[in-house]
Amino acid sequence: MTKKAVNSGAAGRIVPIRKGTTLQMVRLACPDAAQCSLVSESFGLQVLDSDGIRDLHEKLIMETAAALDEGLGERAMQIHLQRVVGAFVGSAYGAGQFYSRAVTEARDATAKSACDDRNEDVGGPVGFDSAAQRKREFAADMALQAHALRMAAEGAVAAYEQVVGEVWKPFERPVENPGQSVDRRAAELQMAALG
């Protein structure tokens, strides 16, 4: 029996993949429970119930899966939960990135206000905080928000593993039009046809 030649153009083509946001990325971007407690104490903010947030979201996903169990097949359930959990993870990662920017701005403003030769960073009238203080307080608020969303994402990921039976991984889709427009591809095909 003879083997047919394989089209090397199709087999050798590398399709770039758009990487999804992982839970590890969320953990690196968002504060953990210890840092969140320190921020709460330092700024006089509410101490979050990290475990409660995580457990509630885990339960939420589990109950959602139980309610949909009769209506969805196994693969449909996996796809649906993949998307739902991906939304929690993506939201937490976005909050973590925003928190990181807020911290950078607070550090910059605090460093500028430490310079005695600058007039613009001097505290305002009595009863008003300086710009640097407002930025630090804003960063503290963002720390709590990022941590809360991190815990929600961790709960959702844990529930996914229980329902589906495998560890959640972000969906990675091929990049559409990786660097070439449709017109350029069409022109290349036309030129190839001409010889």
> What is the reported pLDDT for 112?
82
177's tokens: 């039009």
> What is the reported pLDDT for 9?
47
Domain count within the chain: 1
- Could you tell me if residue 68 is inside a domain? yes
Average pLDDT over residues 114-129: 56
Nearest-10 crossing angle of helices 50-68, 131-164: 40
Higher pLDDT, 118 or 46: 46
Look at residue 12 and tell me whether its pLDDT is greater than 90. Answer: no
- Could you tell me if residue 177 is inside a domain? no
CA 10 to mean position of chain CA atoms:
34
Look at residue 4 and tell me whether its pLDDT is greater than 60. Answer: no
Higher pLDDT, 9 or 156: 156
- Could you tell me if residue 50 is inside a domain? yes
pLDDT in tens, 49-107: 999 999 999 999 999 999 999 999 999 999 999 999 999 999 999 999 999 999 999 99
Nearest-10 crossing angle of helices 74-113, 50-68: 160
> What is the reported pLDDT for 98?
96
Question: Of 37, 139, 35, 155, which Cα lies nearest the Cα of 92?
Answer: 155
pLDDT in tens, 185-195: 778 888 888 87
> What is the reported pLDDT for 160?
94
Give CA separation, 2 vs 5, 11, in Å: 9, 19
- Could you tell me if residue 104 is inside a domain? yes
- Could you tell me if residue 11 is inside a domain? no
Q: What is the DSSP string of 32-77?
A: -HHHHHHHHHHHTPPPP-HHHHHHHHHHHHHHHHHHHTTTS-HHHH
The pLDDT-based confidence of 8 (bands split at 50, 70, 90) is very low
Which residue's entry shows tokens 């946001």? Answer: 21
Which residue's entry shows tokens 């593993």? Answer: 161
The Cα 178–Cα 17 span in angstroms is 10
Look at residue 115 and tell me whether its pLDDT is greater than 70. Answer: no
- Could you tell me if residue 179 is inside a domain? no
Look at residue 10 and tell me whether its pLDDT is greater than 70. Answer: no
- Could you tell me if residue 106 is inside a domain? yes
CA 90 to mean position of chain CA atoms:
3
Q: Could you give the count of Cα atoms lying within 13 Å of 81 in the half-sphere of its Cβ? A: 34
Average pLDDT over residues 106-113: 86
For residues 136 and 86, the answer to whether their CB atoms sit within 8 Å is no
136: containing domain: 20-115+130-171
> What is the reported pLDDT for 120?
53
- Could you tell me if residue 39 is inside a domain? yes
pLDDT in tens, 143-177: 999 999 999 999 999 999 999 999 998 877 666 65
Strand 17-18 and strand 173-174: the pairing is antiparallel
For the chain, the average pLDDT equals 83
| Other C-beta atoms lying within 10 Å of the C-beta of residue 9 | 8
